[in-house]
Amino acid sequence: MQAIRNPVTWFEIYVEDMVRARTFYEAVFDCVLTPELTDGSFEVLRFPGKMPGIGAMGALMKHPMRKPSVEGNMIYFHCDDCQIIAERAVNSGGTIFRPKWSVGKDGFIAIIGDSEGNAIGLHSFN
């Protein structure tokens, strides 16, 4: 039997204003996003990490065929404390859709809105 593994390797968060989105995500998650070369028809800023590796890689993407939305898929970002990151999101131009709450043995989650109108999940064990 093969070991259980997470098959997710990539995610994209669609944005309207790349500068505003970059400022938001770098401030909220205390990271540096890196530009990715494209054919010029869209823009990409990658989150830290490398492929192949453990955990899903992902990027902010401004693409004419994709728009930000609170509907659809939810991506959860790991953090030390959902409440602290949710407050940082508000201070960076985001909103709190649902404050931190317990999900039992699996820790805590919160749902925030980013600067572009996407719903983003936060997950912590504290």
Q: Which two tokens mark 52?
A: 């192949």
> Average pLDDT of the chain?
92
pLDDT at 8: 79
Higher-confidence residue: 7 or 79? 79
Structural domains present in the chain:
10-124 (3.10.180.10)
pLDDT surpassing 80 at residue 60: yes
For 106, which DSSP code? G
Query: Following DSSP, what letter does each residue of the chain receive, concatenated?
Result: -PPP-----EEEEE-S-HHHHHHHHHHHHT---EE----SSSEEEEPS--SSSSS-EEEEEEBTTB---SSS---EEE-S-HHHHHHHHHHTT-EEEEEEEE-GGG-EEEEEE-TTS-EEEEEE--
Q: What is the pTM of this model?
A: 0.89
